[in-house]
Amino acid sequence: MDKPEKEICSNRHNRDVFKRLRNGETIPPNDPQSYKMREASYATKKLLVQMNNSSDPAEIRSLLSRITATEIDESTAVFTPLYINYGRHTKIGKNVFINFDCTFLDLGGITIEDNVLIAPKVSLLSEGHPLSPENRQSLVPGPIHIKKNAWIGANATILPGVTVGENAVVAAGAVVSKDVPDNAIVGGVPAKIIKIIS
């Protein structure tokens, strides 16, 4: 590797790992900042334990605000337990309902717009791994965006890089690997369009 290449690599590795993830950069396992992801997850877990043991809606919102570093509006309801591995890359709008036992892996970014309904056991997974075994330990981010009035059915899984359109419905148990158009109902594994809401 010549000198300019070394400098580019060094500069890339000196930049904040969380910013690089939000920019869609793959993080290799030997990245000098990869330990920060694990440290941040442990810090988040401490707050999650408190949040998931609370029955007070205001306290739950307050703790979730600390986890996400954004204000969770009082119109939003969260039924715990909720599991998040980082938190600061999750943005939640107004009048959102998140039901029991959901999992958010948000290093790649999760945006949930206003009036979204999320049923029990939904997984929003904004990060994955390469298919090739030699690179499998790398982390590949892909932001998830759930637009206004969408409804995500029970036990559905939204994979990295997926946008769920306005007013769309994801059927229970669906695995969504591709964008869902506005007003579409999708279901199955992998999810396919079932119908368009008129």
Residues noted as catalytic: 129
Nearest of 148, 149, 141 to residue 124 by alpha carbon: 141
E strands present in the chain: 77-78, 82-84, 90-92, 97-98, 102-105, 110-112, 117-118, 123-125, 127-128, 140-141, 144-146, 151-152, 157-158, 163-164, 169-170, 175-176, 184-187, 192-196
Count other C-beta atoms under 10 Å from residue 41's C-beta: 16
Q: What is the spatial distance between Cα 139 and Cα 163, in angstroms, rounded to a whole number?
A: 20
User: Radius of gyration of the chain from Cα atoms?
Assistant: 18
Angle between helices 57-68 and 34-52 (to 10 degrees): 170
| Phi, psi (degrees; rounded to nearest 5) at 19 | -65, -40
| C-alpha span between 158 and 98 (Å, rounded) | 15
